[in-house]
Structure 1
Amino acid sequence: MKITRLFLAATAAVALATSVAQAQTKTVAITAIVEHPALDATRDGVVDALKAAGFTPGQNLKVDYQSAQGNPATAAQIARQFAGARPDVIVPISTPSAQAVAASTRDIPVVFTAVTDPVGAQLVKSMDKPGGNVTGVSDMAPVGEHVALIREIVPSVKRVGVLYNPGEPNSVSLVKALKEEAAKAGLTVTEATATKSADAQQAARSLVGKVDAVYIPLDNTVVSALESVIAVGQQAKLPIFSADTDSVARGTVASIGFDYRQVGRQTGEVVARVLKGEKPGDIPTIHAKGTDLFVNPKSAAAMGVTIPAAVTARATKVVGQ
């Protein structure tokens, strides 16, 4: 009888401990519009920062990650699924995913990341006072520096082509900024659009003979099909530049941009604050910190240009050698 009581007490203690552990475990749901190196690095950076803040996957943290595979309808479906599951925080990566998540819930905390223009995308009321259940990290690219870099590497440039998906608000914002910065530099801008990744190569071909260089903004549709665009640049001896540095290793000539793992870490720090009790609407939306210069001399040569020694000398990273 005594053994039975001891067994029941032990069982109750285990059940209580399990219940407490489950209650202390936090759930973070992460979703991205598509999988490509920059967004994947962002996701990994979020987990890095959560670990540093004391939230460890498999111990006191559960991470649920899903990709929409480039499909906005799937992004909306994932957002509704996450809203129904009611995690402690939802982290949408990219503007399309952030908009889908923000539309699906008004009370679950949302911390977006890799969103170019949060106010323009109507995710927050203002950067300083987002309000509601949403805050996050903006990766607004330094477009003026991109234009200056293109001119430095291709001194003869007069016409810049821009390849993007007009359905991505982040890209629309960057194209607008590009036109403004190009005008200041005396350059003209020619647009080519791709509404899905399969259209990116043909859109790139449409720019051949019309422009002196091509610029790819932070566009998930085009970046996910980057290799097909690079092939056009190499065949036509048309230099391709990117807004994100991860694309340089994949074949663009150069970029000034963010280390997206670090962008993810900055985002994860905000997520940790929310998990510890702060309200998203009270946390200012921040701009990603730090810029790196990546260059790819081998790809540049394949596209008919030579990166000046002065540019290579100040590069954070030289790839493709």
Structure 2
Amino acid sequence: MFKKSVLLGIVLAVLSVLPRGAFAMEIFMVGSYHQGDMCGQPQYDAVVEALKQSGIPDLSFRGYYLDSRRRSPQEIDGDIEAIIGDIRELKPAMVVTVDDLAFARLYGEVLKHPSMYLVFTGLNRSVEEYNKIEPFLDRSGRPDKNVTGVFEYLFMKEQMEMLEVLLERPLDKVAVLYSRDPVGMIIKQQIEDELSSTPYGEKLLFFGADSYDEVMDAAKVVGADDTVDGWIPATMSVRDRSGGFMTMADLVGPMISVISKPDLALNSSFTELGFYGGVSVDFYQMGFQTGMMAARLLKGHSISDIPVEDARASIIAVNRGRLSDLGIGLSQEFAGLVDQFLD
């Protein structure tokens, strides 16, 4: 009886110091944007689905959405403090961040907790830049701490080649209309980086905007320039006339009303909004790729064997209604390349 009571006391003592959820493998899912966001939500859902399909028992998911395109920095700061508090108290097995802001604000904290992992999906800012601030890669660029994930390759070269197929001629100029918010600036840089070593790098014209009026002024310039063959909408978040925020869903109608040229969408979700489309990253497949990496880590594989990867899957999506409005017909060659037609 004495031995049993001593053993019971030891068990109770151990239970008292274990974090809540210690017998479940808890995963924190942190999205940079709002729930249902057309860029973030497919990645989020795919990570969860991949982990559920992995056969790992007793997974538990805790979700957070920072809604960074529509909320003030002060509100986001408050949420980040709360998430960091939960990380320190609950000690999840893994934190999964969706897109740049969530990663930028949380990877430094997770590096302080070697027993947990952070896996990212959808980074647009280069991994090397983040590594300079808080190192997590070795000299060869492989993870040597507890952070890895999937970088969002934009398939810009492929996008330009596809536009040439559509127009059946070489390109002259392509405009990039971007917002000067953090995400818009990151995407602008990524477009430059992906095309810098190609002939298309010299064909880009950049137009930055902070507000709706600046967006429309730039759109009118792009629309009137006969040397511009197409344009890339990267206006992720700008101020409206009342001081609120406008995102791509708000801006697509006004922009395409004054730019009668093919709009090269950054993703198929933007094509659904009404842009022409073209070649872009497949958000769901990128999230699933991330979830498979996360599952390997949770099953005990060494992080040094799971390097940062580029998104592998692209999709060619075309909005037929937009092409009809532009007066562009589809050749048989072009139509045969398209994965998804939208109306």
Scaled by the length of structure 2, what TM-score is found?
Answer: 0.75
**CA distance in structure 1 between the partners assigned to 2:174 and 2:126 by the alignment:** 26
Task: Tell me the amino acid that sits aligned with residue 325 of structure 2.
Answer: A
**CA distance in structure 1 between the partners assigned to 2:62 and 2:103 by the alignment:** 17
Shift of 1:51: 0.7
CA offsets 1:150-181 (integer angstroms, 9 cap, x no match): 22223564221102234336413323136526
Residues 186 and 107 (structure 1), Cα distance of their counterparts in 2 relative to 1, 3 Å cut: closer
**Pairwise mapping of residues 28-177 of structure 1 onto structure 2 (< 5 A)?**
28-35=27-34, 36-55=37-56, 60-70=59-69, 71=71, 73=73, 74-86=75-87, 87-108=92-113, 109-123=117-131, 124-125=136-137, 128-155=141-168, 157-166=171-180, 167-168=182-183, 170-177=186-193
**CA distance in structure 1 between the partners assigned to 2:327 and 2:221 by the alignment:** 19
**CA distance in structure 1 between the partners assigned to 2:85 and 2:20 by the alignment:** 22
Residues 112 and 146 (structure 1), Cα distance of their counterparts in 2 relative to 1, 3 Å cut: same
Shift of 1:214: 0.8
**CA distance in structure 2 between the partners assigned to 1:281 and 1:185 by the alignment:** 35
**CA distance in structure 2 between the partners assigned to 1:224 and 1:55 by the alignment:** 38
Instruction: Identify which range, 20-29 or 252-261, moves more after superposition.
Output: 20-29
How many residue pairs get matched?
A: 302
1:11 is matched with none
Asked if structure 2 preserves the Cα contact closer than 8 Å seen for 1:194 and 1:200, the reply is yes
**CA distance in structure 2 between the partners assigned to 1:114 and 1:162 by the alignment:** 20
Instruction: Identify which range, 72-81 or 196-205, moves more after superposition.
Output: 196-205
Tell me, yes or no, if structure 1 residue 189 matches structure 2 residue 190. no
**CA distance in structure 2 between the partners assigned to 1:128 and 1:178 by the alignment:** 19
**CA distance in structure 2 between the partners assigned to 1:316 and 1:266 by the alignment:** 20
1:232 is matched with 255
**Which ranges of structure 1 fall in alignment gaps of 5 or more residues?**
1-15
**CA distance in structure 2 between the partners assigned to 1:122 and 1:199 by the alignment:** 30
Task: Tell me the amino acid that sits aligned with residue 164 of structure 1.
Answer: Y
**Pairwise mapping of residues 305-320 of structure 1 onto structure 2 (< 5 A)?**
305-320=328-343
Instruction: Identify which range, 283-292 or 29-38, moves more after superposition.
Output: 29-38
Asked if structure 2 preserves the Cα contact closer than 8 Å seen for 1:76 and 1:97, the reply is no
CA offsets 1:100-119 (integer angstroms, 9 cap, x no match): 11234423421111113442
**Which ranges of structure 2 fall in alignment gaps of 5 or more residues?**
1-14, 239-245
**CA distance in structure 1 between the partners assigned to 2:129 and 2:209 by the alignment:** 20
Asked if structure 2 preserves the Cα contact closer than 8 Å seen for 1:201 and 1:228, the reply is no
Task: Tell me the amino acid that sits aligned with residue 43 of structure 1.
Answer: Y
2:8 is matched with none
SS where residue 171 of structure 1 aligns? Answer: helix
**CA distance in structure 1 between the partners assigned to 2:276 and 2:49 by the alignment:** 30
Shift of 1:31: 2.0
Shift of 1:201: 4.8
Task: Tell me the amino acid that sits aligned with residue 208 of structure 1.
Answer: G
Asked if structure 1 preserves the Cα contact closer than 8 Å seen for 2:153 and 2:281, the reply is no
SS where residue 102 of structure 2 aligns? Answer: helix
Scaled by the length of structure 1, what TM-score is found?
Answer: 0.79
1:9 is matched with none
Instruction: Identify which range, 257-266 or 226-235, moves more after superposition.
Output: 226-235
Cα RMSD (Å): 3.4
Task: Tell me the amino acid that sits aligned with residue 216 of structure 1.
Answer: P
Residues 27 and 311 (structure 1), Cα distance of their counterparts in 2 relative to 1, 3 Å cut: same
SS where residue 275 of structure 2 aligns? Answer: coil
CA offsets 1:268-288 (integer angstroms, 9 cap, x no match): 122223333456465311122
SS where residue 68 of structure 2 aligns? Answer: coil
Tell me, yes or no, if structure 1 residue 204 matches structure 2 residue 219. yes
**CA distance in structure 2 between the partners assigned to 1:288 and 1:232 by the alignment:** 29
% same residue: 19
Shift of 1:186: 8.5
CA offsets 1:110-148 (integer angstroms, 9 cap, x no match): 111111344243245368512233111112122111111
CA offsets 1:171-194 (integer angstroms, 9 cap, x no match): 13323136526x614863211223
Task: Tell me the amino acid that sits aligned with residue 205 of structure 2.
Answer: T
**CA distance in structure 2 between the partners assigned to 1:271 and 1:50 by the alignment:** 7
Residues 242 and 119 (structure 1), Cα distance of their counterparts in 2 relative to 1, 3 Å cut: same
Shift of 1:202: 5.1
**CA distance in structure 2 between the partners assigned to 1:247 and 1:208 by the alignment:** 19
